[in-house]
């Protein structure tokens, strides 16, 4: 018995290696910009299994008000161990009574003080630092943890099951491709421990990344990932390239998908398009209910509330800013983190059977495409990649109908920035279009009255 177990473990290892080689060395493979590995350890696997069970067992409805006992317990620990929370939450604040007196936190807080966000007892050897793609906002650094990153997998599996899809992961198969379409982005191929060694790759559809013109079609269809994740622009490129792939589902960053594009994706790929509401800082927050126009809250270990401009909770049905507490990233404990996405909360039971509350009318940030002087497209993530090299907290970039651009920047306090250097770097990507640049040290401070919109375009973008 033991012998056959060992033999099967060895053959799984071998299969995993073969899958990785197939992903990396396929004759039509794209350029790989990084060596990927999931850094999941043996004890993480047990933790992920338990998290997966809790995703089902701990799903229950809740009403408006204070977080659950387990989230409160988690906050009590985080407020003591995390320098940022220690400095901001007065010791006289008692939970749950004073829940609504807890200060909220923003993306700017994480951008300015990522080092203060990491608890004293965090295992730094296991910390990863993620940089947000900057598709919809200024790119920031986010302290993360391999276990928290891998927790996306049980959550995706849970959602796939909600859509009637039961993926089978083996070391011989490819689980998922993350499809991007940018001038430049980090790409890699890996195998995923939690999914039994099944393959994963992040690919960029930009033609300059592939050996031949037909390579994206050949590579993606021959590797046959079971499902895809991507943003609307990447998916619209996948349509344009007519990639003959048959995924069982396509996850998409929820808020930006227009109905026209969604219809065309369903026609072409004949699978559900699953809207997914997730930020790197918070992890997945919600997924689109299979039966309706709303997002069920995804994991059981977060508390979601909707706040008005004065940080007060609004009654169910009234719009406000979606604010998240909790999660499972041991390197970034979030207490009342304002997501900059807006919607209303609905606590009434849903006919689909998921007891978790729903976010209705989710309105978030739309990724933007811009055009160069010669008409070619530039993804907002490309501009973020340029801007992140400068010491900025926030920016607002806008392209007008006549193609000229303007940008307002908020530099990190007391750091001088070279405006000319920023302008030149942006112009290089935008084909030397005129760019008007100004500085505003207060940009983002008036979040309540004037939400920062990192990217805006007056150009028409077709579905």
Query: Residues interacting with Zn ion, by CB under 5 A?
Result: 289, 350, 352, 354
Q: Which is nearer to Zn ion, 348 or 462 (CB)?
A: 348
Question: Cα(205)–Cα(241) distance, rounded to whole angstroms?
Answer: 9
Backbone angles phi, psi at 252, to 5 degrees: -135, 150
Q: Which is nearer to Zn ion, 346 or 440 (CB)?
A: 346
H or E segment and range at residue 437: strand 435-439
Q: How far is the CB of 64 from Zn ion (least distance, A)?
A: 18
Strand-pair category, 405-411 with 392-399: antiparallel
Q: Which is nearer to Zn ion, 225 or 286 (CB)?
A: 286
Question: b/e string for 210-238 if b means 16 or more Cβ within 10 A?
Answer: beeeebbbbbbeebebbbbbbbbbbbbbb
Q: How far is the CB of 160 from Zn ion (least distance, A)?
A: 15
Q: Which is nearer to Zn ion, 314 or 352 (CB)?
A: 352
Residue 303: C-alpha distances to residues 282, 286, 299, 342, 345 (Å): 11, 12, 9, 16, 12
Taking alpha carbons only, the member of 382, 444, 449 closest to residue 112 is 444
Taking alpha carbons only, the member of 308, 321, 324 closest to residue 365 is 321
Q: Which is nearer to Zn ion, 291 or 376 (CB)?
A: 291
Q: How far is the CB of 61 from Zn ion (least distance, A)?
A: 11
Q: Is the dihedral of CA 107, 109, 114, 117 positive or negative?
A: negative
Q: How far is the CB of 356 from Zn ion (least distance, A)?
A: 8
Q: Which is nearer to Zn ion, 50 or 291 (CB)?
A: 291
Q: How far is the CB of 353 from Zn ion (least distance, A)?
A: 7
Q: How far is the CB of 291 from Zn ion (least distance, A)?
A: 5
Query: Within its chain, how far is the Cα of 269 from the centroid?
Result: 23
> Mind giving me the DSSP string for 263-317?
HHHHHHH-S-EEEEEEETTTEEEEEE-TTSSEEEE--TTEEEEEE-TTSPBPPTT
Question: Cα(174)–Cα(312) distance, rounded to whole angstroms?
Answer: 46
Q: Which is nearer to Zn ion, 260 or 349 (CB)?
A: 349
Q: Which is nearer to Zn ion, 285 or 350 (CB)?
A: 350
Q: Which long-range contacts (CB under 8 A, 24 or more apart) does 385-388 make?
A: 385/134, 385/139, 385/182, 385/183, 385/184, 385/185, 386/425, 386/426, 386/429, 387/134, 387/138, 387/139, 387/422, 387/426, 388/131, 388/134, 388/138, 388/139
Strand-pair category, 249-253 with 198-204: unpaired
Q: Which is nearer to Zn ion, 107 or 162 (CB)?
A: 162
Q: Which is nearer to Zn ion, 27 or 349 (CB)?
A: 349
> Mind giving me the DSSP string for 367-410?
P-EEE-TTS-EEEHHHHHHHHTTS-EEEEEEEE-TTS-EEEEEE
Q: How far is the CB of 58 from Zn ion (least distance, A)?
A: 17
Instruction: Region of 116 please: left (phi>0), alpha (psi -120 to 50) or beta.
Output: alpha
Q: Which is nearer to Zn ion, 208 or 348 (CB)?
A: 348
Q: How far is the CB of 292 from Zn ion (least distance, A)?
A: 6
The residues pairing with 399 across neighbouring beta strands, listed in sequence order, are 405, 457
Q: How far is the CB of 346 from Zn ion (least distance, A)?
A: 10
Pair of tokens at residue 333: 């404990």
Q: How far is the CB of 59 from Zn ion (least distance, A)?
A: 12
Q: Are 175 and 227 in contact (CB under 8 A)?
A: yes
Q: Which is nearer to Zn ion, 89 or 304 (CB)?
A: 304
Strand-pair category, 198-204 with 174-180: parallel
Q: How far is the CB of 349 from Zn ion (least distance, A)?
A: 9
Q: How far is the CB of 163 from Zn ion (least distance, A)?
A: 12
């Amino acid at each position: 018995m033991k012998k056959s177990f060992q033999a099967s473990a060895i053959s799984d290892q071998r299969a995993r290696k073969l899958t990785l080689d197939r992903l990396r060395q396929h004759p039509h493979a794209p350029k790989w910009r990084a060596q990927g590995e999931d850094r999941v350890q043996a004890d993480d696997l047990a933790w992920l299994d338990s998290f997966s069970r809790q995703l089902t067992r701990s799903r229950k409805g809740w009403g408006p008000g204070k977080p659950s006992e387990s989230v409160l317990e988690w906050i009590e620990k985080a407020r003591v161990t995390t320098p940022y929370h220690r400095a901001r939450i007065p010791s006289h604040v008692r939970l749950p009574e004073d829940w609504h007196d807890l200060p909220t936190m923003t993306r700017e807080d994480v951008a300015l003080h990522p080092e203060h966000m990491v608890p004293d007892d965090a295992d730094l050897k296991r910390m990863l630092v993620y940089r947000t793609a900057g598709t919809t906002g200024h790119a920031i650094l986010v302290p993360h943890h391999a276990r928290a990153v891998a927790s996306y997998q049980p959550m995706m599996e849970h959602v796939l099951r909600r859509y009637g899809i039961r993926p089978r992961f083996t070391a011989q198969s490819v689980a998922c491709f993350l499809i991007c379409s940018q001038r430049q982005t980090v790409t890699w191929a890996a195998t995923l421990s939690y999914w039994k060694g099944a393959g994963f790759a992040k690919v960029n559809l930009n033609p300059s990344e592939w050996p031949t013109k037909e390579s994206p079609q050949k590579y993606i269809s021959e590797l046959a990932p079971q499902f895809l994740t991507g943003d609307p622009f990447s998916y619209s490129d996948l349509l344009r390239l007519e990639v003959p792939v048959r995924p069982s589902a396509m996850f998409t960053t929820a808020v930006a998908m227009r109905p026209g594009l969604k219809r065309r994706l369903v026609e072409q790929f004949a699978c559900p398009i699953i809207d997914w509401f997730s930020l790197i800082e918070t992890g997945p927050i919600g997924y689109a209910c299979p039966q309706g126009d709303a997002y069920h809250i995804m994991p059981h270990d977060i508390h979601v509330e909707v706040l008005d401009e004065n940080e007060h909770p609004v009654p169910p049905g009234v719009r406000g800013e979606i604010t998240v507490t909790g999660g499972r990233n041991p390197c970034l404990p979030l207490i009342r983190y304002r997501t900059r996405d807006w919607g209303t909360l609905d606590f009434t039971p849903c006919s689909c059977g998921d007891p978790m509350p729903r976010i209705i009318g989710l309105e978030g940030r739309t990724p933007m495409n811009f055009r160069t002087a010669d008409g070619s497209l530039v993804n907002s993530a490309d501009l973020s990649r340029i801007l992140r090299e400068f010491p900025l907290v926030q920016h607002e970039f806008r392209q007008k109908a006549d193609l000229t651009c303007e940008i307002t920047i908020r530099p990190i306090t007391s750091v001088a920035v070279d405006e000319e250097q920023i302008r030149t770097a942006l112009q290089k990507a935008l084909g030397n279009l005129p760019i008007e640049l100004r500085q505003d040290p207060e940009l983002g401070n008036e979040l309540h009255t004037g939400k920062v919109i990192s990217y805006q375009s007056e150009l028409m973008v077709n579905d």
